[in-house]
Amino acid sequence: MKVIFAKQYLQELYSGKTVQNKKYRFQPHIVKRYCKTIETMIDAKDVPSLARINSLRYEKLQGNKKGLSSVRISDKYRIEFEEHSATNEDIATICNIVELSNHYK
């Protein structure tokens, strides 16, 4: 699966750079889990294969976040993303990572 980052801080977190905006600094264990989850998403063949990994708790969001999907990093944090499919010879799913959010805020 191809993963695209919608916001600069998401790319910086994944690449291991220090995020400049203090609002987007997270605890080291959250960043580590974020990177591991992104790797899992990249290695996945498509979105349904993410749903088969129970620890990610994949779900389609509802309400004001309708159109987004999410996978969990921890009980408190999740990655929100948009799903796009390209129909060529091989089916490629492109996930646009939108937000690393505190689920309970």
Does this model's pTM top 0.85? My answer is: no
What's the domain count of the chain?
Answer: 1
| Four-CA torsion 105, 95, 72, 17, nearest 10 degrees | -80
What's 92's domain CATH number?
A: 3.30.2310.20
SS3 26: coil
Range(s) of the domain holding residue 14: 2-102
pLDDT, one tens digit per residue, over 6-38 is: 888 888 889 988 888 777 888 889 999 999 999
pLDDT tens figures, 62-101? 998 898 888 999 888 998 888 877 665 444 466 777 878 7
Q: Distance (Å, rounded) from C-alpha 11 to C-alpha 77? A: 17
Q: For residue 22, how far is the Cα from the chain centroid?
A: 20
CA-nearest of 105, 104, 101 to 30 is 101
